[in-house]
Chains A and B, each alone.
Chain A
Amino acid sequence: MSTNQAIDARGRRVGEPLTTPPPAPAARLQRLLHAHPLIGPALVLVLACVLFSLLIGPRFYQPANLSLVVQQVQIIGMVGVAQTLVILTAGIDLSVAAIMVFTTVVAAQLAVGAGVPAALALLAGFAAGAACGAVNGLLVTRFRVPPFIATLGTLNVFGALTLLLSESQTVRGADLPALFLWPGQTFSAFGADITYGSVLVLVAFLFVAHVLRRTAWGEHVHVTGDTLEGARLSGIRTDRVLLSVYVIAGLICAVAGWFLIGRVGSVSPFSGENVNLSSITAVVIGGTSLFGGRGHVAGTLLGALIVGVFSNGLTLAGVDVLWQTFSIGVLVVAAVGVDQWTRRVGG
């Protein structure tokens, strides 16, 4: 009956401490990556930068080029923030790019078509983004539609609305208010021209990272994604958490839309089409788990930068664009593989 006897029966001497064998190197690596999931993407980014610097030289690492990389990934990065929030809850949002473009068209139609003041039109665009997110969130929470299906549907709905509202016309930059184009304006620092949009994206990353780590809401987002049933039994109002995540994701996409106008210099219903999958790519390469509950927006920033550095570096090196696609694909698969492996820590 007693524990000691049971242990004796297994042939262990009483009083001898249970010795665990030292972990094998692979297990130690697994534990390290589990405790510090940002190591992987950070290492890949540093290695990629070193590799391209050696391969290409100053053309790659001059400040102007690095600033260009940041500008190229700012939209993916910003939308990636929204995508990270959704993926942390074990969901996925396929409509992020559609929301982003839709809100730019809403703002442009109000400002240019209806003569609404620029700031108000922009805010109306943000509100539209939040509303789109609310539609997604209600589909997921009220109607229990799986996020993949719900946002696949709204991807098409928002896309169609974008085309209807804009009548498939592009609004030229010359017709847009200056405020719309402001994120694309540059200032000089560190010997490079840096856009205000790039800086704001970094601020957004810091802010969301802070909120996720320090607030009760952030904690509940993680727990909801980690164990939906457990969160519910612990009294977390999971439906509210999920709804808020989709609304905030929609809002972030709308802000990304503003940066997109600044970057492209016009409002086109056809811009930003590759952003959807790229945002998921950035999140996954950044080490956030598609199964929810674990990940970090800092990882998404690294992921977006990795994508940017690879495209930029391979282009400068004169490598066929298809190899860029190929290498990103390999990175995604590797990242998911590492995630699956580290999740098994402790069995």
Chain B
Amino acid sequence: MTSPGRGPVPAAKTVTAPDRGSLPVLVARGLTKRYGHVTALGGTDLTLRRQEVLAVIGDNGAGKSTLIKCLSGAVVPDEGTIEVDGRQVAFRGPLDARAAGIETVYQHLAIAPARDIAANLYLGRELRRKGFAGWGLRLLDRKAMRANTRELLDSLGLLTIQSLDQAAETLSGGQRQGIAVARAAAFGSRVVIMDEPTAALGVKESRKVLDLILEIKNRGIPVILISHDMPHVFEVADRIHIQRLGRRIACVPTADITMPEAVALMTGASQPGPEHIQD
């Protein structure tokens, strides 16, 4: 429960510069998605480097969630390409993205309220018993799932949860968020995407989630964070990607921009210059 009183993390200490040479983990180019006459995404680029937290911010209708859905496989873009570790991919569904090592924490969490914690952690990829019982009879190995869940939650400092037998709906909002984040941390081998992870949380619970984001980053997995909360973004992000009217209008290191500038760009109050795109 007691998280160290970590103040705002200085973005400058992060590892943007030495990684210039290495290949970005995820590169999207010219992503376009239209729904009838509405263009949700009008040719957006996105670059995610190794070992970074990339915040994606933008006003409502800027195309943030469509962009994220393209990256997580929930939406198939009309045009544009996505490369993971330099290899072009075409996601037909969330399973494809997951197979590519991209895990997403959805805004509505994708948590099954009546299932217990271990079941939620392994949702859709339950562990089976070994041998014929597993692949033939499709019997679950609940014991192993429970043990792994305990270990994982413990390593993420989330074992304040009383019992793994509890249904998810008996947990607080923050604990539920913790389960969803833990799931992404456990299975995301290349990228973890988080859509508004602190939107429904109180101060203390948000704190915990921000710590988890940094923890995932420290484990070497880059994070894409979609958030409305500017202080949170400026606290944990290494770079900020600003989305406006379906396009990326800026992408800058957090240290190079102030909160009012970012908001001005996001709302269109000021126009981006050439210095604002740094891939």
- Please report A residues at the B interface, Cβ cutoff 8 Å: 1-4, 6-7, 31, 34-35, 214-217, 219-220, 222-223, 226-227, 229-236, 293-294, 343, 345-346
Contact = CB atoms under 8 A, between A and B. Distances in A.
A219 B140 CA distance: 9
Contacts of A4: 5
Nearest to A7: B204
B91 interface: no
Contacts of A235: 93-95, 98, 124-125
Decide if the interface of chain A is mainly helix, strand, loop or mixed: helix
Given A216-B128, A230-B111, A223 B139 contact: no
A229 B112 CA distance: 10
Interface string B112-153: 111100010001111010000000011110000000000000
B119 A230 contact: no
Given A215-B138, A215-B140, A231 B169 contact: no
B110 interface: yes
B108 interface: yes
The contact size tier of chain B is: 35 or more
19 contacts: A1-B7, A3-B3, A7-B204, A214-B139, A215-B137, A216-B138, A222-B115, A226-B113, A226-B115, A229-B108, A230-B108, A230-B123, A231-B123, A233-B104, A234-B123, A234-B125, A236-B123, A345-B169, A346-B169
Nearest to B204: A3
A219 B203 CA distance: 35
B98 A219 contact: no
A6 B140 contact: no
What are the 3 A-B residue pairs with the smallest beta carbon separation, nearest first? A234-B124, A230-B110, A235-B124
Nearest to A5: B5
Contact of B140 (A216, A231, A232, A233): A216
Contact of B74 (A214, A231, A233, A343): A233
B213 to A, nearest CB: 16
Interface string B37-77: 00000000000000000000000000000000000001000
A231 B74 CA distance: 13
Contacts of B3: 3
B124 A231 contact: yes
B170 interface: yes
Contacts of A219: 115, 119, 126, 140
Nearest to A346: B170
Given A1-B7, A215-B140, 13 more contacts: A6-B204, A214-B139, A214-B140, A215-B138, A220-B124, A226-B113, A227-B111, A233-B74, A234-B123, A235-B98, A293-B112, A345-B167, A345-B170
B203 A3 contact: yes
> Which has the most chain A C-beta neighbours within 10 Å: B111, B123, B137?
B123
Contact of B112 (A3, A214, A230, A345): A230
B171 interface: yes
Contact of B203 (A6, A216, A222): A6
Contact of B114 (A2, A222, A234): A222
B60 to A, nearest CB: 21
A223 B140 contact: no
A6 B201 CA distance: 14
Candidate in B95, B114, B115, B231 with the most chain A CB atoms within 10 angstroms? B114
Interface in B7-39: 7-8
B228 interface: no
Given A2-B7, A3-B203, A233-B106, A293 B171 contact: no
Contact of B207 (A3, A216, A226, A233): A3
Contacts of A231: 112, 123-124
Most buried by B among A4, A294, A346: A346
Contacts of A220: 124
A160 to B, nearest CB: 38
Contacts of A35: 167
B157 to A, nearest CB: 14
A214 B126 CA distance: 11
B124 A229 contact: no
Contacts of A232: 94
A215 B8 contact: no
A294 B138 contact: no
B158 interface: no
A2 B206 CA distance: 11
B252 interface: no
B164 interface: no
Given A7-B204, A223-B115, A229 B8 contact: no
Contacts of B6: 2
A182 to B, nearest CB: 29
Contact of A233 (B110, B114, B126): B110
Find the residue from B3, B106, B115, B231 having the highest chain A CB count within 10 A. B115
B5 A223 contact: no
A242 to B, nearest CB: 15
Contact of B94 (A1, A34, A233, A345): A233
A236 B124 contact: yes
Given A1-B7, A34-B170, A214-B140, A227 B203 contact: no
A220 B119 CA distance: 10
Contacts of B204: 3, 6-7
Interface string B200-212: 0001100100000
B100 interface: no
Contacts of A226: 112-115
A233 to B, nearest CB: 4
A183 B16 CA distance: 74
Nearest to A226: B112
B90 interface: no
A224 B158 CA distance: 27
